[in-house]
Structure formats: C-alpha cells, structure tokens
C-alpha cells in the first residue's frame, strides 16, 4: 500500500536530524544530542540523551515550528511534563540543559575556567557544577579545570569532588554540597591564604601546615580555622546548624559564644546562639571522614587517579 505523499514527507522529516526547530508533523518530544543535530521523535516516550560526564539523562520539548527547549534531567521533568509550560519552567531554553536543582547550564567548563587559578579540580563523579559569577552562569566541570577566588562549586545528590590547592591542601566535597571560594590569595609561589564559605552540605579538608598563611572555613554560624590538620564541617542552612569534627591536629571554631578549640577526634555543634559542648567521637561508621575513610589524602586521591585514568582511556 502506498502512503499519501504528505504522510511520507512527514515520516522522512521526522527521521532526519535537524537543528533549531521541530519539523511539522513531529511530536513535541525529541532526543537531545546526536552528531548531526537533534532527531525528532514521533512519540512522547522520550528516552533523551545520556551525558557520560554527568551521568544525566537529558530530554527536550520541541513545539512544532518553535525553538527547542531542554529539560534536564528528564526523570525529574517527565513527571511534570503535562503540568508545566515552557514559560512556567525555568529550565526551558537552557543552552546546555539544566541541573538537578533546575539551574540552567549556560556555559562549558572552558568558558569559565581560570587557567592560572590556584586550585584544580582533580576528581569528580556525578553532577558537579561551577560558576565564576556568583551563580548567574553555571557549567559542568571538566578534569583538570582550574578555579580561582569568587567561584561557586556545587555537587548534585550523587556528586562528589576533590579540589587540590597549589599549596598542597585538598578539599573534598560530599554530595549535595555548595561552597564559595571567598579567598584564594597567593602569598608567594607555594603558599595561599584560603577562605572557603560552605553554603550547605559537607566538606572534608586535608590542610598542609600553615606558615604565615590562613585556612578558614566559614558557615552561616561559625568560622573554623586550622594551622594544618584534617577536619570536616557540615552546614544545614535550613536549621542554621554546623558541625565541626577534628580528625587530626587542632581546630578552632569561632561562633557567637566565642572560640572553641578541638583536638583529635573531638567535635562541636554550632547554632546561631553559639557552640555547644565539645564531645569525642570515633572516626568510624557515621563519623568516618566523608571520603569513606581516607579523607582527601586517601580515598579521594585514589578516586582522582581512577577518574583521570578513565578519562585518558576515553580520550585515547
């Protein structure tokens, strides 16, 4: 049986790649990505494009004859697809899709990287994003990407990242963590003044011995300062509560109630009213370093080697 010419043309148009708008006759769903453009799908069962770097599935809505708009990850958008219009969805029209928290990805790593920045992203997995303008522009990070002061970094619900500073310090970010590099100031060739603002989540730091320089980690209720040690800080902006744990050396925690000093395997909880009682902990189980036991000096370095090695294999 011969198909009418109009239907045949629709099928042909739907099977070819295109760029920009959705051809007449195709549905409002299409597959994002592809080497030669964006092929239209003829069904609402969008599979989307799998981004190997972030591990996200990306799908887009494409009204006929109108510019295409991405919604990422599709697993989140799909449940709301019939309830939202592009004008209501702040992920509509994102240049490179959008993140788990529905922030637009509007740049590539190379667009915002600081080639001479004093910190390098040496390992990551899952969704990890960076911004160099206070959160207006976001990009997915890339191995070896360098950052400077004034950068925001955030991990998704399954994201993890290791940051190596040029003075030897390492910072490990747990899932669902956001930080701001308030200060990364070179004192000389090998020493830095470092101030990191933890906006939410958990950070583990492996800090080299300081000689005339500072390393501070701020939250909304505390400032943790060290002179060379391993420690973690968590912060929940909803409850305005932070917890600092010292794994090695000594740590000072300044809050509304003054300064509290911690020694190895001691911790303290801080709220808006100040610090609570210092208590001891055993660094195992729930109290193990966030990186799974080795801190930035152990498991995270192994993760770095594995991830960068895998990247090299893919590149080859």
Task: Please provide the DSSP assignment of 96-134 as one string.
Answer: TBB-TT--B--B-HHHH--TT-SEEEEEEES-EEEESST
Task: Concatenate the DSSP letters of all residues of 16-33 into one string.
Answer: S--SSBBPTTS-SEEE--
List the beta bridge partners of residue 29: 61
- What pLDDT score was predicted for residue 53? 59
Residues 6+ apart with CB under 8 A from 61: 28, 29, 30, 68, 69, 71, 81, 86, 92
As a whole number of angstroms, the longest Cα–Cα distance in the chain is: 85
Provide the 3-class DSSP secondary structure of residue 194: strand
Measured CA to CA, the distance from residue 95 to residue 91 in angstroms comes to 9
pLDDT of residue 59: 52
CA-CA-CA-CA torsion sign (31, 58, 119, 149): positive
Beta bridge partners of 158: none
Look at strands 56-61 and 128-131 and give their pairing: unpaired
Taking Cα atoms as reference points, which of 161, 158, 58 lies closest to residue 105?
Answer: 58
CA distances from 288 to 58, 147, 292 (A): 35, 28, 6
Q: In whole angstroms, what is the distance from residue 38 CA to residue 19 CA?
A: 6
CA atoms within 13 A on the CB side of 137: 12
List the beta bridge partners of residue 161. 124, 173
Q: Which residues of 181-218 are buried (b: 16+ CB within 10 A; e: fewer)?
A: beebeeeeeebbbbbbbbbbbbbbbbbbebeebebbbb
Task: Please give the Cα distance from 107 to 95 (Å, whole number).
Answer: 8
pTM score of the predicted model = 0.69
pLDDT tens for the chain, residues 1 to 316: 443 333 333 333 333 333 344 444 433 443 333 333 333 333 333 334 455 555 555 555 444 444 444 444 444 444 444 444 545 555 555 667 667 776 778 888 999 999 999 999 999 999 899 999 999 899 999 999 999 999 999 999 999 999 999 999 999 999 999 999 999 998 876 789 999 999 999 999 999 988 889 999 999 999 999 988 999 999 999 999 999 999 999 999 999 999 999 999 999 999 999 999 999 999 998 888 865 333 333 333 333 333 333 333 333 4
pLDDT score at 106:
82
In 3D space, the residue among 159, 153, 184 whose CA is nearest the CA of residue 169 turns out to be 184
Determine the pLDDT at residue 214.
94
């Amino acid at each position: 049986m011969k198909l009418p010419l109009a239907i045949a043309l629709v099928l042909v148009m739907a099977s070819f790649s295109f760029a920009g708008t959705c051809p007449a006759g195709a549905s409002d769903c299409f597959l994002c990505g592809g080497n030669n453009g964006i092929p239209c799908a003829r069904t609402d069962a969008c599979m989307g494009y799998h981004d190997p770097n972030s591990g996200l599935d990306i799908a887009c809505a494409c009204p006929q004859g109108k510019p295409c708009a991405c919604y990422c990850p599709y697993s989140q958008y799909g449940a709301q697809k019939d309830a939202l219009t592009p004008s209501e969805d702040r992920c509509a029209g994102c240049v490179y899709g959008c993140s788990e928290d529905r922030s637009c990805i509007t740049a590539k790593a190379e667009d915002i990287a600081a080639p001479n920045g004093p910190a390098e992203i040496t390992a990551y997995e899952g969704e990890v994003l960076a911004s160099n303008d206070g959160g207006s522009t976001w990009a997915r990070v890339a191995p070896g990407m360098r950052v400077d002061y004034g950068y925001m970094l955030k991990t998704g619900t399954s994201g993890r990242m290791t940051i190596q500073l040029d003075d030897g310090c390492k910072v490990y970010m747990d899932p669902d963590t956001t930080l701001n590099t308030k200060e990364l100031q070179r004192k000389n060739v090998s020493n830095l003044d470092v101030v990191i603002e933890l906006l939410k989540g958990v950070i583990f730091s492996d800090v080299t011995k300081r000689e005339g320089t500072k390393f501070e980690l701020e939250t909304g209720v505390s400032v943790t300062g060290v002179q060379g040690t391993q420690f973690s800080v968590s912060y929940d902006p909803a409850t305005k509560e932070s917890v600092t744990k010292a794994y090695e050396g000594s740590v000072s925690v300044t809050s509304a109630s003054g300064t509290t000093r911690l020694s190895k395997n001691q911790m303290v909880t801080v709220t808006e009213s100040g610090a609570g009682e210092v208590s001891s902990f055993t660094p195992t189980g729930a109290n193990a370093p966030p990186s799974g036991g080795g801190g930035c000096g152990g498991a995270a370095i192994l993760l770095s080697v594995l991830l960068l090695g895998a990247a090299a294999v893919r590149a080859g």
